[in-house]
A and B are shown apart, each in its own frame.
Chain A
Amino acid sequence: MSVPRFWRSLGSRYNLEGTHCTECGEYYYPPRDTCVNCRRLGKIESYKFKGTGEIITYTIIHTAAEGFEEQTPYALAIIKLDEGPSLTAQIVGNPKEVYIGMRVKPVFRKLGEDGERGMIYYGTKFVPAEA
């Protein structure tokens, strides 16, 4: 990932910043500038998600992409945030303890890095809410 591309999305990666349409109440993550329900009538404001949510489904990665090899096996889940939107994120900890319907909360972790010389990418992963 390019440095500017990551930098542009710092807010949503670090702090789960998205948007909210005050007209229809819909929440968007990642942020959208236009409400898909209200179109031009929508009133979009920025919104910081609470970060708590539930695992909708998950998969356990055994053959990882470059940069994630050391972390296998790990769980990658689709999480439905309490406000509505879903996102894909890594679940920290033992993947065997992950289950559908599990309540999760956000943690700040390293997402990756561009080798030893490049930038370090930080952002949000999730852990079981009771942990």
Chain B
Amino acid sequence: MTIGIVSYGAYVPRYRIKVEEIARLWGDDAEILKKGLMVHEKSVPDLDEDTATIAVEAARSALARGEFDPARIGAIYTGSESHPYAVKPTSTIVAQALGATPDLTAADFEFACKAGTAAVQACMGLVSSGMIELGLAIGADVSQGAPSDALEYTAAAGGVALVIGRKESELCALIEDTYSFTTDTPDFWRREGRPYPEHGGRFTGEPGYFKHVTNAAKGLLKKLGTTPEDYDYAVFHQPNGKFPTKVAKTLGFRKEQIAPGLVVTKIGNSYSGSCLMGLAATLDQAKPGDRIFVTAFGSGAGSDAFSIKVTDRIEKIRAKAPKVSELLKNPVYLDYGQYAKHKGKIRLA
């Protein structure tokens, strides 16, 4: 059964803070951090932006690029670890803002940084079963890092929306297959009502990120009988630049394959948007026939791997919405005080 991506849209807030500025406040060595994390700056939401507004902007971009009737969307799933409401779905706000209501199902997903790809898989299931015609999967976050925590250097904001469908003539990329690897691994969590997540420090590396990404990637390669050389591009979840670079090398992917999708250096880790942002940046430049290997990771922990093949239609739709590189133009840099205000770290009363 053919299934794939009908359209995609990305959104990154205009504000940025540089690693130097955060390091200045906490007395850290910015050069060591930049080299270690391979992150130079990260995106910061505007005062009136949150996961819902970012999800809507990304979804509207996908709608503009795909030029389809929003009433055809049968399911909207928004993955995030920073939904604005604890109870009240982000996805209904997105559905209303797209004009997709009321003939659809909707729910919110949460799985640390891979809630967006979990939403993609759910849409794939509904679309391929024939229950719905089009599914909208979104990964969006305004992620939180506690002041002076290592996460503060990377926790960023952004979102990506993918429209999943099965009508071959309207697909810009085929999803050849997907494979997931999931275990109970307490590498990162946030308890109910707490503003900032806790993490296991170095424990998030080997037992968390590397174990799951490697196993999901190997699992999919085995399932399909493919090797890294069969792919033109690869995208791995990007909590920083170092992890995806290292895991790509371990799996046998070359630097050139991951380069177009390695957007973390300028955006930071947009959590549920992170891996999908890499995919969006890769789709922005991929040619018909190119194959893209994508592996997301979410702490807690699990990995979703996808094998994607770009179709001729990509050339027709690509320019109808902003590319990731265009979203990164004209950033407005904030100092730490302004950043703290944007992130609600300053309590006025």
Interface residues of A (CB under 8 A from B): 10-11, 14-15, 48, 69-71, 92-94, 107-111, 120, 122, 125, 131
Nearest-Cβ distance from residue B216 to partner chain A, whole angstroms: 33
10 pairs from A and B in contact (CB 8 Å cutoff): A10-B96, A70-B341, A71-B47, A93-B14, A108-B53, A109-B48, A111-B48, A122-B52, A122-B93, A131-B14
Interface residues on B, range: 20 to 34
B99–A122 CB distance below 8 A: no
Q: Quick one: which of A14, A69, A122 has the most chain B CB within 10 A?
A: A122
Nearest-Cβ distance from residue B59 to partner chain A, whole angstroms: 9
B152 CB–A CB distance under 8 Å: no
A78 to B135: give the CA distance in the assembly, Å.
Answer: 37
In the bound complex, residues from chain A placing their C-beta under 8 Å from that of B141 are none
A122 to B50: give the CA distance in the assembly, Å.
Answer: 10
Nearest-Cβ distance from residue A79 to partner chain B, whole angstroms: 17
B56 CB–A CB distance under 8 Å: yes
| A92 and B96 contact, Cβ closer than 8 Å, known pairs A108-B53, A110-B53, A131-B330 | no
The 8 closest A-B pairs by CB, nearest first: A108-B56, A110-B48, A109-B48, A14-B97, A108-B53, A109-B53, A71-B47, A120-B84
B348–A69 CB distance below 8 A: yes
In the bound complex, residues from chain B placing their C-beta under 8 Å from that of A71 are 47-48
In the bound complex, residues from chain B placing their C-beta under 8 Å from that of A131 are 14, 330
B16 CB–A CB distance under 8 Å: no
Nearest-Cβ distance from residue A49 to partner chain B, whole angstroms: 13
B348–A14 CB distance below 8 A: no
10 further interface pairs, Cβ-Cβ under 8 Å (given A70-B348, A108-B53, A122-B52)? A15-B96, A15-B99, A92-B48, A110-B48, A110-B49, A110-B52, A110-B53, A120-B85, A122-B93, A125-B48
In the bound complex, residues from chain A placing their C-beta under 8 Å from that of B348 are 69-70
In the bound complex, residues from chain A placing their C-beta under 8 Å from that of B85 are 120
Nearest-Cβ distance from residue B96 to partner chain A, whole angstroms: 6
Measured CB to CB, the nearest residue on chain B to A107 is B57
Contact residue among A48, A107, A108, A120 (Cβ-Cβ distance under 8 Å from B99): A48
A14 to B97: give the CA distance in the assembly, Å.
Answer: 6
A110–B56 CB distance below 8 A: no
Nearest-Cβ distance from residue A50 to partner chain B, whole angstroms: 12
B37-80 interface code vs A (CB 8 A; 1 in, 0 out): 00000000011111011001100100000000000000000000
